[in-house]
A and B are shown apart, each in its own frame.
Chain A
């Protein structure tokens, strides 16, 4: 059957229009990223200097000062959260992947998903009640624990997926050679899944690095240096919040600079996540 000329034109038009429309949608998806980046660079770069990176905040209304303590505090608490959540998350993930058919495992999986969906402010308030009140002090520890609550389900679920994706032949080969189950897990399955697990961990780190809500009522913030676990600690996200809503011009500028630092760290973590996945696929191919 031959299409009429008009019909053919119409179909061509539809094709072009849909292509253009989806293309525009794709641009719209990317646009916010570029707008945010450009905006942050334009506004933040002016105030991003050595003083900002290396000195303590000044009192409100005074010009100058920086966020060195907040930058270190953020790394400190995210590092703490990583130490707490990595063993638990990977352990739980392995359990779910290897012995995940039991009723208990279903419950665990469901709970992990629930925890994943809990708003971070709720986690902050819960940790306040669990740790801050009994310890009678806001603390870096409470901040780290709150962040780890966000990371644990993310790491557990990615680990599960990654361990499950390891081909069974690898396990059979290892067991066939006489290795114990534990040895097989440790030396064969986990290394094979490592790339994917690292991706998950990096994404979890990138997520919590920018979280302000769970730290508001756990780490509280600090105008000074602190490296003790049991004292309040400064951190970038809450400092940005604090500075951005202040009435001082100079603090607004510093909030932009802090946001730029934050986005750079998050971007680096995302890129590391990307690179490690690419290596994984290359290896599997």
Chain B
């Protein structure tokens, strides 16, 4: 009796699993349980995740090649690529010479898309874009400017009724490419920041509270009146956060968007020609948005699986050409044509 009961239960469980699989398989032709012959695995940057997924969906429809991209963070992407557990890595920060020494295989890296970071804040009743200079921004994040109605902020924003509110700095608690780009920018514009804090995927912040991921910082800023933080522009827009116009190297106050970001990447071309890993922060040009960065992809130079590598090359060629249009739809900054050409050259080095 008992034995039979157990057998019945186990077979019921098995039947359940089979039913689910069969159910999915019999569903309309497009979603059958089948795995493509070629499946490419990539991981890394959370920032590029929405775009990578869109590329992957579109590309699978076009060619049947499946690119499975998982967002584990830029640091994770570099690490897993180094260990060889993924086919390609993506990071908001290029792999430095220092890091490259620990790699055992030759690889190429090149930008696939760019993005801007918005300085978001939560000031009850204030919906306009505040003007901020690099010096003021650095002093806010250094904890030297403590109140929103500080004369230095008020001076930049005549006519705005700034509240007598404490400034709450919100930063990333996890290692992140977003943090790297932001601290790289602050280090470029402020000697004091460079000496006291420096640049990095995670730094020891002089003041403020941490939030995990772009979404964590977004959430904190949304909830805390007086908060200021840095997030990728798409997060700011999707969550209706107010963001600041930042004074660029040419002295103009500019807002982050596709055009000002693209202007910055174009201004970075000369630098990129010398080193493809160069950053795009604080670029010259009247319309350049100063907090702009690239997303880099890492590929093996001499891949073991030639068939897979050939498909991967085709995918990135497509992403660099046709894919750039999708980038601007999703709030990213498409690469300037010169940068696309440089990336394609790098991609061609993959044998």
A contacts, CB < 8 Å to B: 53-56, 58-62, 68, 71-72, 75, 79, 128, 132-133, 136-138, 191, 194-195, 198, 220-228, 231-232, 242, 245-248, 272, 275-276, 279-280, 283
Tell me which residues across on chain B come within 8 A of A275, comparing CB atoms: 9
Tell me the dominant secondary structure on chain B's binding face: helix
**B287 smallest CB distance to A (angstroms):** 27
B53: which of A60, A71, A75, A276 is its contact (CB, 8 Å)?
A60
Does any Cβ of A come within 8 Å of B50's Cβ?
yes
* Contact call A60/B35, Cβ cutoff below 8 A: no
Interface residue ranges of B24-78 to A (CB < 8 Å):
24, 27, 31-36, 39, 41, 43, 49-50, 53-54, 56-57, 60, 66, 68-71
* Contact call B85/A136, Cβ cutoff below 8 A: yes
**22 A-B interface contacts by CB (under 8 A):** A53-B20, A54-B24, A58-B57, A68-B31, A75-B17, A128-B85, A133-B83, A138-B86, A194-B3, A224-B39, A226-B35, A227-B33, A228-B35, A231-B35, A231-B41, A245-B212, A245-B216, A248-B238, A275-B9, A276-B9, A280-B2, A283-B2
* Alpha-carbon distance between A71 and B18 when the two chains are bound, in angstroms: 12
* Alpha-carbon distance between A280 and B69 when the two chains are bound, in angstroms: 48
**A284 smallest CB distance to B (angstroms):** 10
A247: which of B41, B54, B238 is its contact (CB, 8 Å)?
B238
Tell me which residues across on chain B come within 8 A of A228, comparing CB atoms: 35
* Alpha-carbon distance between A232 and B42 when the two chains are bound, in angstroms: 10
* Contact call B9/A195, Cβ cutoff below 8 A: no
**B23 smallest CB distance to A (angstroms):** 6
Beta-carbon nearest neighbor of B18 in chain A: A75
Tell me which residues across on chain A come within 8 A of B83, comparing CB atoms: 133
Does any Cβ of A come within 8 Å of B330's Cβ?
yes
* Contact call B35/A242, Cβ cutoff below 8 A: no
Does any Cβ of A come within 8 Å of B209's Cβ?
no
Beta-carbon nearest neighbor of B39 in chain A: A231
Beta-carbon nearest neighbor of A76 in chain B: B17
* Residues A133 and B85 in contact in the complex (CB < 8 Å), given A54-B27, A61-B50, A195-B6: yes
Does any Cβ of A come within 8 Å of B84's Cβ?
yes
Tell me which residues across on chain A come within 8 A of B56, comparing CB atoms: 59, 223
Tell me which residues across on chain B come within 8 A of A132, comparing CB atoms: 85
* Contact call B3/A60, Cβ cutoff below 8 A: no
* Alpha-carbon distance between A198 and B12 when the two chains are bound, in angstroms: 14
A-B contact count (CB 8 A): 116
Beta-carbon nearest neighbor of B31 in chain A: A55
Beta-carbon nearest neighbor of A61 in chain B: B50
* Contact call A224/B33, Cβ cutoff below 8 A: no
* Contact call A137/B213, Cβ cutoff below 8 A: no
B20: which of A58, A60, A75 is its contact (CB, 8 Å)?
A75
**A244 smallest CB distance to B (angstroms):** 10
* Residues A137 and B41 in contact in the complex (CB < 8 Å), given A75-B20, A224-B66, A276-B5: yes
Give 6 closest A-B pairs by Cβ, nearest first.
A59-B53, A60-B50, A59-B54, A54-B27, A224-B66, A75-B17
* Alpha-carbon distance between A279 and B66 when the two chains are bound, in angstroms: 49
Does any Cβ of A come within 8 Å of B310's Cβ?
no
Tell me which residues across on chain B come within 8 A of A194, comparing CB atoms: 2-3, 6
* Alpha-carbon distance between A231 and B1 when the two chains are bound, in angstroms: 42
* Alpha-carbon distance between A61 and B54 when the two chains are bound, in angstroms: 9
**B84 smallest CB distance to A (angstroms):** 5
* Contact call A71/B20, Cβ cutoff below 8 A: yes
* Alpha-carbon distance between A132 and B83 when the two chains are bound, in angstroms: 9
A225: which of B17, B34, B235, B330 is its contact (CB, 8 Å)?
B34
Tell me which residues across on chain A come within 8 A of B155, comparing CB atoms: none
Tell me which residues across on chain B come within 8 A of A226, comparing CB atoms: 35, 39
Beta-carbon nearest neighbor of A58 in chain B: B57
Tell me which residues across on chain A come within 8 A of B32, comparing CB atoms: 225
**B300 smallest CB distance to A (angstroms):** 11
**B65 smallest CB distance to A (angstroms):** 10
